[in-house]
Amino acid sequence: MGRKKIARSTTATVMVDDSSVTPTLEGNQGFSELHASLAKIGKIPGVKGYILKNLTSAVIDLKNPAKLVEYALLTSEVADACDESSILFDLNITRAVVTGKKLKMLGIILGENKLAIFMEKTVNHTDISDRILP
């Protein structure tokens, strides 16, 4: 007799706060606004989740929490590559799209806030980018 398989889609939201460092009001507002925008973007079909962080806080919302560490590392490396490229080529890189064979990642640097959105390759990342940076 065959066994029934139950597919589950899990969304985990992780809030990390460091109260020892007090962010500026402006930064906090920006972070909150970005979080609100990302929450809406997260509902777009094909979007797999997002990571938003600054020096003091982080929000991670992924449909596949098992890949949290890998996604976080990729986000961090992309942000570093943006910085590195900016210095080496005298550019002010603030956005990045990394396309993989299965998914793609849109990375955006907004001041001290860094965010990454993971999505299927068919999703229009320009449209998503415009929602964050109109």
Partner 1 sequence: MNTELQSFILKNAVDEIKKACPKVSNTFIFTDQGEILAKDDNIEEKAAACAANALNTVSKRSETIGGFESATFYNASNRVHVFRSNSYNLALVGSEESEGEVCSKLARILVPTVLKVIEKSCDFSDEETPAENLTAENEEQDGEKDSDLEAEVVTAVEVEPDEARKAEELAQTFLPDPPVTQLLIENVYGIVLGKDTARIDGRVIQQWVDLYGDLQIDEVEVETLNGQSTRCKFRPIKDAKHYGRGIIQLPQKIQQTLQTSKGELVIVKPVVE
Select 60 or 78, whichever has its Cβ closest to partner 1: 78
The distance in angstroms from the start CA to the end CA of the chain is 55
Residue choice 17, 33, 80, 127 for contact with partner 1 (CB under 8 A)? 80
Q: Which residues of 99-119 are buried (b: 16+ CB within 10 A; e: fewer)?
A: eeeebbbbbbbbeebbbbbbb
**Binding to partner 1 (CB under 8 A): which residues in 103-132?**
103-105, 118
Residue choice 93, 110, 112, 132 for contact with partner 1 (CB under 8 A)? 93
Q: What are the Cα distances from residue 60, in Å, to 1, 2, 13, 85, 104?
A: 40, 37, 5, 26, 17
Residue choice 44, 96, 110, 132 for contact with partner 1 (CB under 8 A)? 96
Residue 23 is classified by DSSP as -
**Binding to partner 1 (CB under 8 A): which residues in 31-70?**
67, 70
Residue choice 17, 33, 91, 124 for contact with partner 1 (CB under 8 A)? 91
Q: Is 94 in the site for partner 1 (CB under 8 A)?
A: yes
Work out whether the CA dihedral 21, 25, 27, 30 comes out positive or negative: positive
The least distance separating partner 1 from the CB of residue 68, rounded to whole angstroms, comes to: 10
The least distance separating partner 1 from the CB of residue 69, rounded to whole angstroms, comes to: 9
**Segment (H or E) for 26:** helix 25-41
Site of interaction with partner 1 (CB under 8 A) = 67, 70-71, 73-74, 77-78, 80-82, 84-85, 88-89, 91-105, 118
